[in-house]
Amino acid sequence: MAFETLIRQMTQAASRGDGNAVASCFTDDGVYHDVFYGSFRGQEIADLIENYFHRDGENFVWDIHQPVRQGDIGYARYVFSYDSRLPQARGRRGIFEGVAICHLQEDRITRYREVATAASGLYLLGFSAKSIHRFVKHDTENLLDRPETAGHIDRKSAGPS
Q: Are 33 and 116 in contact (CB under 8 A)?
A: no
Summarize pLDDT for 13-25 with one digit per residue, the tens: 999 999 999 999 9
Provide the domain limits for residue 17.
3-145
What percentage of residues in the chain have a pLDDT greater than 70?
Answer: 96
pLDDT computed for residue 160 by the predictor: 66
Q: Tell whether 154 is covered by a domain.
A: no
At 6, the pLDDT band (50, 70, 90 cuts) reads very high
CATH number of the domain at 52, please. Answer: 3.10.450.50
Of residues 132, 110, 139, the one with CA closest to residue 35: 139
Element (H, E) at 12: helix 3-16
Higher per-residue confidence, 78 vs 148: 78
Q: Tell whether 92 is covered by a domain.
A: yes
Instruction: Identify the bridge partners of residue 28 per DSSP, sorted by sequence position.
Output: none
Q: Are 37 and 48 in contact (CB under 8 A)?
A: yes
Q: Tell whether 159 is covered by a domain.
A: no
Please give the model's pTM, rounded to 2 decimal places.
Answer: 0.87
At 27, the pLDDT band (50, 70, 90 cuts) reads very high
Summarize pLDDT for 51-98 with one digit per residue, the tens: 999 999 999 999 999 999 999 999 999 999 999 999 999 989 999 999
Task: Say how many domains are in the chain.
Answer: 1
Q: Tell whether 30 is covered by a domain.
A: yes
